[in-house]
């Protein structure tokens, strides 16, 4: 099994990702596609007039501040727009794709973050209305059953909270990593709007062939979403995934290119 995560930024070529997945599936490689959708969530939030707020952790990692309204928008955007676009594209290509959120048969169970520390205007404050969580369990039986029958699962956040069963935002990279570990996947491919991990985030030609995970803090050249991606990559490696690649989702055949040595191998 191959787990592919398709980033949510503008520029990611969902059509190329789907075509590549279709090729792999028809050649006999089962694939689970996990998606995010940050740009689509922000666009819908803008149209609905719901502010898209961000939290910056004390160590500098930025995440979405998912209050109740933001959670509703996120769910609408991911399950109502991003997912059906992927399912219809895969369907056109002859793939029997099935969309699952974290709430389907409790697929993605997450520990709700009770209170999150965040930096606001240089001060550390405690945020209590953030409906987000950390994946603690993937109920992979449903995925295995679908894969065994020749279906291609398309997995979307949100997850469900272990405390009250409510929806919670979960990071899609970490979902992909947890799904890969739960399935014992051969490889995890994280496709994003960058050629891989860059030595200099401002220089697209500075892509590193390899990134070695060391310690819990990201290196100075890694910021923003890429820092979270490398945490997800480290979790996959710790969970026994042999090949973890961060690669460009803006190119033709992005999955095949990543597996053929493109992008950045995380080790």
Strand 2-6 and strand 133-138: pairing? unpaired
> Minimum distance between the CB of residue 23 and ligand ADP, rounded to whole angstroms?
22
Which residue number, 9 or 142, has a Cβ lying nearer to ligand ADP? 9
Residue 194 touches ligand ADP, criterion: CB under 6 A: yes
Residue 7 touches ligand ADP, criterion: CB under 6 A: yes
User: Residue 115: which of 124, 105, 102 has the closest Cα?
Assistant: 124
Name residues whose C-beta falls within 8 Å of residue 141's C-beta, 6 or more positions apart in sequence: none
Instruction: Output the six-digit token pair for 200.
Output: 């200099």
Stretch that binds ligand ADP, among 46-54, 125-133, 221-229, 250-258 (CB under 6 A): 221-229
Residue with tokens 């699952």: 100
> Minimum distance between the CB of residue 80 and ligand ADP, rounded to whole angstroms?
18
Cis peptide before 52 (omega within 30 of 0): no
Helix (H, G, I), strand (E, B) or coil at 147: helix
Element (H or E) spanning 135, and its range?
Answer: strand 133-138
Which residue number, 38 or 132, has a Cβ lying nearer to ligand ADP? 38
The Cα 235–Cα 161 span in angstroms is 20
Which residue number, 146 or 195, has a Cβ lying nearer to ligand ADP? 195
Q: Return the number of other C-beta atoms located less than 10 Å from residue 165's C-beta.
A: 11
User: Residue 177: which of 157, 203, 204, 207 has the closest Cα?
Assistant: 157
Helix (H, G, I), strand (E, B) or coil at 197: coil
Residue 99 touches ligand ADP, criterion: CB under 6 A: no
The site that binds ligand ADP (CB under 6 A) totals a number of residues, namely 19
- Looking at residue 132, the DSSP 8-state letter turns out to be B
Query: Among 16, 38, 175, 266, which residue sits at the site for ligand ADP (rule: CB under 6 A)?
Result: 38
Instruction: Note whether 190 and 173 are within 8 A (CB).
Output: yes
Residue 106 touches ligand ADP, criterion: CB under 6 A: no
Which residue number, 35 or 146, has a Cβ lying nearer to ligand ADP? 35
Residue 198 touches ligand ADP, criterion: CB under 6 A: yes
Residue 9 touches ligand ADP, criterion: CB under 6 A: yes
Residue 197 touches ligand ADP, criterion: CB under 6 A: yes
> Minimum distance between the CB of residue 207 and ligand ADP, rounded to whole angstroms?
8
Residues 147-186, one symbol each (x = binds ligand ADP by CB under 6 A, - = not), give --------------------------x-------------
> Minimum distance between the CB of residue 33 and ligand ADP, rounded to whole angstroms?
14
User: Residue 102: which of 71, 145, 138 has the closest Cα?
Assistant: 138
Instruction: Note whether 264 and 210 are within 8 A (CB).
Output: yes
Residue with tokens 């290196």: 219
> Minimum distance between the CB of residue 93 and ligand ADP, rounded to whole angstroms?
22
Residues 233-262 that bind ligand ADP (CB under 6 A): none
Which residue number, 146 or 266, has a Cβ lying nearer to ligand ADP? 266
Question: Site residues (CB under 6 A) for ligand ADP?
Answer: 7-9, 36, 38, 173, 192-194, 197-198, 201, 221-226, 229
């Amino acid at each position: 099994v191959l787990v592919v995560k398709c980033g949510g930024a503008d520029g990611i070529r969902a059509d190329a990702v789907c075509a590549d997945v279709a090729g792999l599936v028809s050649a006999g490689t089962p694939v689970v596609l996990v998606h995010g959708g940050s740009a689509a969530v922000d666009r819908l939030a803008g149209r609905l007039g719901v502010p898209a707020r961000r939290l910056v952790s004390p160590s500098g990692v930025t995440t979405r501040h998912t209050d109740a309204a933001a959670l509703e928008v996120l769910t609408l955007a991911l399950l109502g727009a991003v997912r059906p676009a992927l399912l219809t594209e895969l369907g056109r290509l002859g793939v029997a794709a099935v969309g699952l959120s974290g709430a389907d048969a409790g697929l993605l169970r997450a520990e709700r973050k009770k209170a999150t520390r965040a930096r606001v205007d240089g001060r550390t404050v405690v945020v209590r209305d953030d409906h987000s969580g950390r994946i603690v369990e993937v109920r992979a039986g449903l995925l295995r059953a679908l894969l065994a029958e020749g279906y291609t699962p398309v997995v979307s956040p949100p997850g469900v909270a272990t405390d009250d069963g409510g929806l919670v935002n979960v990071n899609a990279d970490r979902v992909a990593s947890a799904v890969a570990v739960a399935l014992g996947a051969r490889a995890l491919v994280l496709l994003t709007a960058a050629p891989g991990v860059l030595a200099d985030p401002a220089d697209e030609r500075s892509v590193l062939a390899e990134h070695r995970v060391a310690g819990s803090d990201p290196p100075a050249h890694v910021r923003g979403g890429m820092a979270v991606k490398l945490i997800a990559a480290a979790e996959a490696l710790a969970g026994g995934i042999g090949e973890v690649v961060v690669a460009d989702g803006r190119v033709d055949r992005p999955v095949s290119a990543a597996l053929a040595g493109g992008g950045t191998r995380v080790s």
